[in-house]
Structure 1
């Protein structure tokens, strides 16, 4: 067989586990081969390319309206950071095709400097995942995934959009595959003057707010033998952000970044056995300009060399063993930060056992040990179970210990770096309840998280800041979502509404953490009739404190924002769309001082053939 047979058995037919069935079917090769396993035991929100088109401005907007995450954005298109379940941006892992891509220097990802076009799906997973995805996967993880299909022939598509504030957004994609070879290429460019105004917010003008970025993706796969496949994928990203200023007399600043990611994979798949060996290289380059007309003020280059092996074996028809080993060399060189040439070696070994007791009950238990140069890392564990109690109710239990090791800035920034920092560790528990009645699905997930040795930059007696392991954080809450989908002849209606309550407390002060709203509601409704499609989406965000003392006068007021769009497909291959964002002209902030735009518009054309 020339397919990922063991994955088919594990994720499509695990209840039967018929190893003797040997029929050849075409399948899809997914670069992150762990994601299908994760979805067996955990709630994962999948955002498709069609969903991306609803929020095509940037990844911040997409995650804000289509996931329970809180996104803190310093003005449209500027620096942006995510928060899962009351955690920080450093406690969120960005995963590119199974490879953790958080910055070596900051330990996080800038949401608006990560391209989200060119991916076949974006998966959002709340909850810890360090046993599989490593450092930073404490609050949750965001997965940017590509796949390769065979026997699909030639396809191409073009998306072009013109929007308010002189914004232009263009994306092109082409693919070809036969029974042995598959190739895919895409390119995306967006640029915007981004000069919006919000008169009601002290006559705010988004001065010097323009941005642009370009991204290219290339991927290929070849079946070299019935059970062996070689695959390759690369991404090249170039971005520029001008940071908003409040007065024309201020110096205009900007930030530029160039990223490279490349991965080669050799996959060997048989009926009860699979092995995936990956070699990857990732590089980040960034430059900050304190004055856009002068030379850079600071910057850095980070390079990662990664080897990863994922071995999967069915010991018995109901018992699966998974061994994941990884070795990395992380290198960094700073400019204007006091960071010279630094390097560290990281190794890790994870072992997971999955037991399919019956077609209704399954368990997964995992353990992981990291070996980080000059850092004492904890032993991590995870346990998950799922019980399909009835045809209308199932129960998921998840317990895990997760961690984040200090970044290069935490350790080596001068002055202030602290080489004696310990990793942050987290214990987490969640219990997901899912109900299904007719065409309605409801999930309710209470969770609890305890974070120890939180790394925080504090002022010193010498006048500069330095990171230290400080307080403990306790976070608990509930995430719920209700979904409905129904087809009536040529009519299709899909809807979903999510609600999250998040209480994240510094146990020393008993105060809510900054930029963690207690309440968030988000929802999407899609209606399609023949060639016509209409959608409406909305988001409510509750009161959000911007300091550590819960000062009400400085908090961000609650707000509700609604968007809507309509599109029509003509001659089968051509789709014209129109969108209105912030229909009700809501004045709202996701971070202090930087309001986001009022009502704005876009028109787009999508061609597929």
Structure 2
């Protein structure tokens, strides 16, 4: 950690002395996007893009941003505690999280805790619905969430500082810097968050105990133009978290959990007349300490390191046809008291082809084969395309075979790990319709997913929990998305966004809905901009879900807020905002016996200069 901070400070001190230089001959826009696959090979998939302005007002954690702006359902063990996504009725390990082009799901449990991701760390977030194992590897079954850090090479030197305070002694401080001079670009950010998190349990005389948390994250991203055809880019992120783990209505909490993660990625890009070659080298680390008793010095711990190397070549043979192929090597090394010292080596070969048949019809096909030192992975494929029938109406279609590899916990956990596990195997098809009229867009998608050999942890006759490939699951449903961005007058605008999902996710043997998957889920947000004032309202409906031994009631929760922005003089702009969360003071749980916060307030001051 100390070495990382020293390197960041040194780099900033050097870049501050760089003088403006002549812009390169080629178009820089082509190299600020780290994952060319998301840009050029996703015609048949529904993509939901969340821009910087949406992120800025999207809440403290990535969980809250996506809960109100996508069809992803989240299970939270209390506010700020572990948060797991359920994308299209799948499990948490079936959502791939892609950071600047690489999959960062944990090799330990196959998941990412979305309450450890601060939205302000990213310049944009994309949600890609449907299977994506060909492009993004293990776990990309329900969909993928893409965390992007854009690099601007145009001449600029910008700063953004945020300070916030709210209920439960919640404190938030953030600083971001961006610089570019045509030859060099960097962005730097630091985010700090802390809270007593002692909200009241509605309908009781109790409060959330042992829920305190604090975390800090650093981001540094840089790009340097070596020549007119060669660019180097560096992405780095460090997160350190310390949180107590809340109890339940029937059992008080007393444990504590420490996170320590870092992601570093170095990327070289060579630009030809008709091709782009990219070499990525990445080092990913995650470690944890779990204190069963926060007041004790006794803890369990674990860590895992991932080394990644990927070479890709994207070539445009003509205006109608392009091909992307890449070779990736991953080395995983773990160490922990509950899973030993496992290692794994994976090699993946992938090819993607895009064919533009006509101005209104384009399709892509893909193949991927993984070779693992631990098990045999299936050959997976993808086919997707888009057909524009008219100026206002278009169709999207995607079909794919996808997989999820067993994790270190699945294989080696003591006691209970199962070395005989095989990767999960999933087939799916998705048909989407897109309707556009001026500032209004409507999407409707229907999909079907069939999964075999799903890995599930179940108790044996002796009471020992162990994973096995036992489940066959089928999932089908409908998703609707509506967007209206309507300028009323010169200084007025109305923005309306709404999502609805109907999801059936059932065990084929029992025909019962899987636990914690709602049949119905919907959200909507309305924002009205009037000159310097912005008013917004968000509403979420989550239907009842099955749980072990019964059913958890559905709920509705809403947030509302107001911001005022103006200039202090020169380049300095400020925005003050107030958000009222859980406006109607609704009692709700999205995990049984773990109540979520009552009505609360968050204030913030934002400075841009």
Q: What TM-score results when the alignment is normalised by the length of structure 1? A: 0.93
- Aligned residue for 1:316, secondary structure, equals coil
**Distance verdict in 2 for CA 1:249–1:365, change over 3 Å:** closer
TM-fit CA distance, 1:53: 3.0
Question: Deviation at 1:439?
Answer: 2.4
Q: 2:141 aligns with which of 138, 143, 152?
A: 138
Q: Is 24-33 or 184-193 further displaced after alignment?
A: 24-33
Paired residue secondary structure (2:308) = strand
Match of 1:380 in 2: 380
Out of 248-257 and 70-79, give the one that drifted further. Answer: 248-257
* Aligned-partner SS, 2:506: strand
Is the alpha carbon distance of 1:586 and 1:505 closer, same or farther for their aligned partners in structure 2, counting shifts above 3 Å? same
Cα distance in 2 between the residues matched to 1:328 and 1:523: 40
Distance 1:372 1:26, change over 3 A: closer
Alignment partners' CA distance in 1, 2:563 and 2:155: 26
| Pairwise CA distance, 1:120 | 0.6
Change over 3 Å in CA distance of 1:204–1:52 after alignment to 2: farther
In structure 2, the CA distance between the partners of 1:131 and 1:248, relative to structure 1 (3 Å rule), is closer
2:46 is the alignment partner of 1:43: yes
Q: Structure 1 residue 292: deviation in Å?
A: 0.7
| CA drift at 1:56 | 2.3
What is the CA–CA distance in structure 2 between the aligned matches of 1:159 and 1:198, rounded to whole Å?
Answer: 30
Which residue does the alignment assign to 1:299? 301
Q: 1:151 to 1:591 in 2, by over 3 A?
A: same
Match of residue 224 from structure 1: 226
- Secondary structure, counterpart of 2:40 in structure 1: helix
Deviation for aligned residue 1:421: 0.2
Structure 1 residue 32, shift from structure 2 partner: 2.4
Which whole-Å CA distance do the structure 1 matches of 2:395 and 2:181 have between them?
41
Provide the rounded CA distance (Å) in 1 between the counterparts of 2:36 and 2:174.
Answer: 26
Larger displacement relative to structure 2 (298-307 or 557-566): 557-566
Q: Label 1:502 to 1:247 Cα distance change in 2 as closer, same or farther (>3 A).
A: closer
Equivalent in the alignment of 1:425: 425
Distance 2:82 2:330 in 1: 28
| Matched-pair contact (CA < 8 Å) for 2:167–2:600 | yes
| Residue aligned with 1:595, SS | coil
List alignment gaps of at least 5 residues for structure 1: 1-21
Tell me if structure 2 keeps the 8 A contact 1:72–1:80. Answer: yes
Change (3 A) 1:601 1:250: closer
Q: Secondary structure at the match of 2:57?
A: helix
Deviation readout 1:441-499 (Å, 9 max, x if unpaired): 11100000001101011122343111100010000000001111111221111111111
CA contact (8 A) 2:95 2:141 kept: yes
- Aligned residue for 2:555? 559
Instruction: Check whether the contact 1:207–1:246 (CA below 8 A) recurs between aligned residues.
Output: no
C-alpha deviation, 1:590, in angstroms: 0.7
Q: Structure 2 CA distance, aligned partners of 1:223 and 1:296?
A: 50
Partner secondary structure for residue 90 of structure 1:
helix
In the other structure, the counterpart of 1:6 is: none
Check conservation: 1:115, 1:237, Cα contact below 8 A: no
Q: After superposition, where does 1:92-171 map in structure 2 within 5 Å? A: 92-171=95-174
Q: Distance in 2 between matches of 1:204 and 1:521?
A: 30
Q: Distance in 2 between matches of 1:177 and 1:514?
A: 49
Deviations 1:112-154 (A, max 9, x none): 1233322111111221100010000011111111111112320
The 1:36–1:296 alpha-carbon spacing in structure 2 relative to 1, beyond 3 Å, is farther
Closer, same or farther: CA 249–261 of 1 in aligned 2, 3 Å: closer
SS, match of residue 547 in structure 2: coil
2:284 to 249, 274, 282: 282
Q: Distance in 1 between matches of 2:551 and 2:97?
A: 28
Aligned position for 2:196? 193
Is the Cα contact below 8 Å between 2:154 and 2:182 reproduced in 1?
Answer: yes
Q: CA RMSD in A?
A: 1.6
CA distance in 2, matches of 1:408, 1:414: 11
Unaligned runs of 5+ in 2: 1-23
Match of 1:569 in 2: 565
For the residue of structure 2 that corresponds to 1:453, the secondary structure is: strand
Distance 1:94 1:382 in 2: 19
8 Å Cα contact 1:287/1:296 also seen in 2: no
* Count of equivalent residues: 580
Q: Is the 8 A contact 2:368 2:379 kept in 1?
A: yes
Superposition deviation, residue 589 in structure 1: 0.9
Whether the aligned pair in 1 keeps the contact of 2:351 and 2:368 (CA below 8 Å) is yes
Please say if residues 158 and 608 of structure 2, whose CA atoms lie closer than 8 Å, have aligned partners that are also in contact: yes
Match of 1:369 in 2: 369
TM-score of the superposition, structure 2-length normalised? Answer: 0.93
